[in-house]
Amino acid sequence: MAEYQLIFMRSLFAFIILLIICRILGKQQISQLTFFDYIVGITIGSIASSLSVDQNIKITNGLMSLIVWGGLPVIIAFLSIKSRAMAMLFAGTPMILIENGKINEKNLRKSKLTLDQLMLNLRQKNVFKLSEVELAVFETNGEVSVMKKTDQQPITPKVLGMQLEADRRPYLLIQDGKVIEKQLQQSGYTKEWLFGEIQKQGAQEFKDVFVAQVDSKGNLYVDLYDDQKTPQASSARPLVAAQLHKILADLNAYALSTENEEAKRMYREQYEKMKALERRVAPFLK
């Protein structure tokens, strides 16, 4: 076997093993990695690259090394879940840098952070004044978590005692000019309603739309391929038909989203009445 073929086969083998190890280790984001996870990742990558090109390393030896380095983090993660002491041993413990608005110089030195680095981390959390900080914690992944003083925290509807309608997930209905049927069905809207709505925003066909997304309140965001297009006036009849479709879709969506059985029954009854009305007036809206 030629040398380049051997390297290709070894690299393919190393890639497959790495893929399996990554799937086993999970989907932890880079920003959430501890120092231990970071070192393990570098070591596994180094072993895999050496296995790919260094023919002096036997494949079985490289495989054993990858299994050990890939298996140990899994075992440690399992032990950390079962034992807090093990979790503290391998991941370390968070360090309080600021408490009650005062900097803990001792913990700052233990964390190997300078005052400039602390200020950098605070600025990344949109905090520019030390006087605004109630608590700052140096986490095991190298991030600094910040809690502002009560009078510096933003006002929320909950603080004001306001009751707001809960938002639900938005649905992507059109992508690259194609209707996503599954998302459209889950959203509770119809293709006719969607067509009527994109017409209002200047599209003539579904293929004119780059992306369309509807939120839980029925607001449709539309981005056209031709950004120079302006919404064109449609004739009244298609608009009325589209409105009827929207009412039907809204009633259906409300019936699916509510947990109140009485309200669900009411929405279903109104849906059937509107459906009957739509069938009667449909010939006049063409």
Q: Report the number of distinct structural domains present in the chain.
A: 3
* Residue 165 within a domain: no
- DSSP-derived 3-state class of residue 27: coil
Does 174 or 40 have the greater pLDDT score?
A: 174
Q: For the chain, what is the mean pLDDT?
A: 82
Question: Where residue 177 sits, what CATH number does that domain have?
Answer: 3.30.240.20
Same domain for 264 and 185, yes or no, is: yes
**What is the rounded average pLDDT of the residues 93-102?**
90
The whole-number average pLDDT for the span 19-32 is 63
Within 8 A by CB and 6+ apart from 270, the residues are 251
Q: How many CB atoms neighbour CB 131 within 10 A?
A: 8
**What was the pLDDT predicted at 250?**
85
In a domain, 166, yes or no: no
Specify whether 103 is located in the same domain as 136. yes
Q: Residue 195 in contact with residue 236, Cβ under 8 Å?
A: no
The boundaries of the domain holding residue 136 are 95-152
Residues 190 and 122 both lie in one domain: no
pLDDT(164) > 80: no
pLDDT tens column, 35-75: 677 788 888 888 888 888 887 888 888 888 888 888 888 88
For residues 26 and 28, what is the distance between their CA atoms, to the nearest angstrom? Answer: 6
The yes-or-no verdict on residue 123 having pLDDT over 70 is yes
User: pLDDT-derived band of residue 235, with 50, 70 and 90 as boundaries?
Assistant: very low
In a domain, 121, yes or no: yes
Do residues 127 and 186 share a domain? no
Asked whether residue 30 carries a pLDDT value surpassing 80, the answer given is: no
| Within a domain: 160 | no
Claim to verify: residue 119 and residue 79 sit in the same structural domain: no
Same domain membership, residue 120 and residue 184: no
Say if residue 200 is in the same domain as residue 278.
yes
CA distance 278 to 241: 8
114 lies in the same domain as 79: no
Q: Are residues 175 and 278 in the same domain?
A: yes
- Do residues 208 and 148 share a domain? no
Res. 194: pLDDT tops 60: yes
Q: Is residue 210 part of a domain?
A: yes
Portion of the chain with pLDDT greater than 90, in percent: 17
Residue 164 located in a structural domain: no
Confidence of residue 77 (pLDDT cuts 50, 70, 90): confident
User: 221 and 265 in one domain?
Assistant: yes
Q: b or e along 217-231 (b: 16 or more beta carbons within 10 Å of the residue's beta carbon)? A: eeebebebeeeeeee
CB atoms within 10 A of CB 123: 10
Alpha helices (H) along 161-222: 181-187, 191-200
Residue with the larger pLDDT of the pair 206 and 168: 206
